[in-house]
Amino acid sequence: MFRDKTAILAIDQGTTSSRAIVFSRSGEVVALAQQEFAQIYPKPGWVEHDPEVIWATVIGAARKALKDARSKGWKPACIGITNQRETAIIWDRATGEPIHNAIVWQDRRTAGTTRQLSEAGHEDLVRQKTGLVLDPYFSATKFAFILDAVEGARERAERGELAFGTVDSFLLWRLTGGASHLTDASNASRTSLFNLKAGGWDHELCGLFNVPATGLPGVADNAAAFGTSRKDAVGEELPITGMAGDQQAAAIGQACFKPGQVKSTYGTGAFLIMNTGEEMAVSENRLLSTIGWRLKGRTTFALEGSILSAGATVQWLRDGLGLFSKASEIEALAASADPDSGVFLVPAFAGLGAPHWAADARGTIVGLTRGSGRAEIAQAALDAAAHQTADLLEAMARDGVPAAKLKVDGGMANNNRFLQRLSDFCGVPVVRPVNTETTAWGAAFLAGLGAGLFASLEEGRKLWRPDRAFEPAMAENIRGVQRTGWQKAVNQTLAGI
């Protein structure tokens, strides 16, 4: 479509790695760099990242990708940022130094706080204003924990000496040398502090969660002038013109621009987002109302279902149990499983997300016999992500918004066996796109909108192309047995809390 050599850098800061991808205006990957980093587990259920390591890996990947793109004659024009959502960081406004490790979205340390707030009757208020449930998944209780854990932090925050933000805000601050303290509407909507209908930070919620509003960033549209990268950061000055949380960026990359269109991304966790248009849909089935994106002041809302462990389950089988040496080996191993094994794995390593929101649940494997082996556990791990997705689609259907098909992306979307089982359990066609870098592409496309390289979302729709569709093929009686077995396994898990 575009013949010039204009390109866009997307920074994709994820839970286990930082990636930088340079895209052409037609969506082709012209350069890619990735750096993994360590997870920090101070206690069971606690997950942290070192913000300095996040920064170092982002800068290392961005410089390499830009250098590679330039060497091929491409001319990067702007930067888009997408990020692991809900992960909370607090840093010194004067120095930019974090005062504590980042508390990751998976972290469950504030489960007691959210339980107390729920028991005190605040759940409805939070749902009405934010579209979210009371759960340690979201950022507000993480900010409060850091302020209480670091000596003198609350006093410093009240004096305006500290800045709070999710990873996008921290990266933007660093990239601009402290010139910009902003977030975008999609990331803001994941904090439990943002009023969806009013479109801004809510002082009543800040008081409820004990988070001083003085440290929060300004909230911009998803395609906007966020600032300019310093040369000493990524090696050159480029305007930063797009930003979105990773799941919203993936929805944009998947061209889910019409109400009813839905995508599911399979990374560390799995996240299903359905476009519900300009009217905020309210779930009666414990799904989340959230902002899909905000452009030119107009908000597109979405319903979301959050699965806390998907690719992380495969990683556990690889690193924790040693069932295989490479994640890609799980497809062949699962194919050798006894189809009638009756083994189910409920990966509640950090609790269960939607629609259960059981922070204290822990992982279980049920149905083991002496004949169960590596293959059966591997198949149960893949099926767990498929069953949980089916649970979410069924919840959406009960809310009156059934899905006609499901667009998929993320690392697990390369596993054909998984996608077939996903289609079988969900009962809808599952479509994988040609461009599976949908999260990064969504950030790049937003940056292109913000920089004037694209005129409208329609251009993004035209650039999306399907690769392969998987149609439901499982006999209904077998599907019924599988789905019933899964529900029994979940019930056993919840009974153990």
Summarize pLDDT for 204-225 with one digit per residue, the tens: 999 999 999 999 999 999 999 9
* Side chain identity, residue 90: I
Q: Tell whether the model's pLDDT for residue 496 goes beyond 80.
A: no
The confidence score (pLDDT) of residue 207 equals: 95
Q: In sequence order, what are the residues at sequence separation of 6 or more whose Cβ sits closer than 8 angstroms to the Cβ of residue 71?
A: none
Whether the per-residue pLDDT at 44 is higher than 90: the answer is: no
CATH domain 255-433+465-497 topology: Nucleotidyltransferase; domain 5 (3.30.420)
Q: Where in the chain is the domain with CATH 3.30.420.40?
A: 6-246, 255-433+465-497
Sequence-ordered strand ranges (E) for 229-322: 239-245, 262-266, 270-277, 288-295, 298-307
Which of 280 and 186 is assigned the larger pLDDT?
A: 186
The pair of structure tokens assigned to 151 is 């000596």
Percent of the chain residues past pLDDT 90, beyond the cut: 82
| pTM for the model | 0.89
pLDDT for the residue 149: 96
Decide: helix, strand or coil at residue 434: coil
Write the pLDDT tens digit of every residue in 82-115.
Answer: 999 999 999 999 999 999 999 999 899 999 999 9
**DSSP string across 1-49:** ---S-EEEEEEEE-SSEEEEEEEETTS-EEEEEEEE---B-SSTT--EE
pLDDT number for residue 267: 86
Give the model's pLDDT for residue 4. Answer: 80
Q: How confident is the model at residue 3 (pLDDT cuts 50, 70, 90)?
A: low
Topology, domain 6-246: Nucleotidyltransferase; domain 5 (3.30.420)
Give the Cα separation of 357 and 369 in Å (integer).
30
**pLDDT, tens only, 113-165:** 999 999 999 999 999 999 998 999 899 999 999 999 999 999 999 999 999 99
Strand order of the β-sheet with 102-103 is 48-49, 102-103, 88-92, 162-166
Q: According to the model, what pLDDT value does residue 495 have?
A: 86
Question: What does the pLDDT read at residue 51?
Answer: 97
- Per the CB < 8 A criterion, the answer to whether 208 and 114 are in contact is no
More confident residue, 384 or 267: 384
